[in-house]
């Protein structure tokens, strides 16, 4: 059987050099296309690997330490990272030295295994009396939602979480007419002992 021969189309002889070049480009083999695609993919991955990774902001790290410290001081398993970041920013803005003090308090907590907030508070005040005010600022922020004399969070403040089954946050009436006349459920009294020494009572303006 005679071998097949490739015959150049008649119209090619009448084509311009530019048209012939375009025809050759269109007849690129599938193998060349695959090799070109694989090469581009490898180049893309290599370029991405060579790009420097963004450094973790120190503010993010400090906010994470503040949240971990807050979990121990509130004896809770979860707290809102968004609220924690907002409180931390306000606290260090109001008192710049709080930034270093919170870091030192975090280091103290990591150096020893404290079973409760009370143990940490007692050890912190013994280590440095200034830690007492730091703890006050942190607890005021989480439970009252206030930092730097400004309301950072209201409805999600932990003071409402404690009595949410008995007292509604004072935003709007969430019950029917005269709902406040019904007797609220009993709330057990706290049994824990204070961890910090007594502070001077301050009457805040209303």
Q: Is residue 126 one of the residues assigned to a domain? A: yes
Q: Would you say residue 19 lies in a domain?
A: no
pLDDT tens across the length of the chain (206 residues): 455 554 545 454 455 555 565 555 555 555 565 666 666 655 555 555 555 555 445 667 999 999 999 999 999 999 999 999 999 999 999 999 999 999 999 999 999 889 999 999 999 999 999 999 999 999 999 999 999 989 999 889 998 887 777 776 766 666 676 666 788 778 788 787 888 888 877 766 65
Per-residue tokens: 13: 């002889």
Asked if the structure places residue 101 within a domain, the reply is yes
* Number of separate domains in the chain: 1
The residue with tokens 């007594």 is 198
Domain-embedded: residue 120: yes
CA distance 83 to 86: 5
Domain span at residue 128 reads: 58-168
pTM of the model: 0.62
Tokens of 137: 């600022």
- Within a domain: residue 141? yes
* 136 occurs within a structural domain: yes
- pLDDT of the residue at 10: 47
The region that residue 166 occupies, defined by phi over 0 for left and psi between -120 and 50 for alpha, beta otherwise, is: alpha
Q: Within a domain: residue 38?
A: no
In a domain, 154, yes or no: yes
């Amino acid at each position: 059987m005679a071998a097949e021969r490739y015959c150049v189309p008649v119209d090619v002889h009448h084509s311009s050099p530019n048209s012939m070049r375009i025809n050759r480009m269109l007849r690129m083999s599938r193998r060349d296309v695959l090799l070109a695609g694989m090469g581009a993919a490898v180049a893309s991955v290599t370029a991405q690997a060579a790009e420097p990774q963004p450094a973790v902001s120190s503010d993010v790290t400090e906010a994470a330490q503040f949240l971990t410290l807050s979990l121990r001081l509130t004896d809770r398993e979860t707290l809102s990272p968004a609220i924690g970041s907002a409180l931390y920013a306000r606290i260090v803005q109001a008192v710049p030295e709080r930034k270093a003090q919170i870091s030192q308090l975090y280091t103290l907590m990591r150096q020893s295994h404290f079973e409760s907030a009370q143990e940490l508070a007692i050890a912190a005040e013994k280590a440095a009396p200034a830690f007492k005010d730091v703890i006050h600022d942190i607890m005021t922020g989480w439970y009252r939602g206030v930092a730097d004399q400004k309301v950072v969070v209201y409805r999600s403040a932990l003071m409402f979480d404690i009595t949410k089954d008995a007292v509604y946050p004072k935003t709007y009436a969430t019950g029917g007419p005269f709902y406040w006349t019904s007797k609220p459920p009993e709330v057990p009294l706290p049994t824990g002992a204070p961890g910090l020494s007594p502070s001077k009572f301050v009457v805040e303006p209303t």
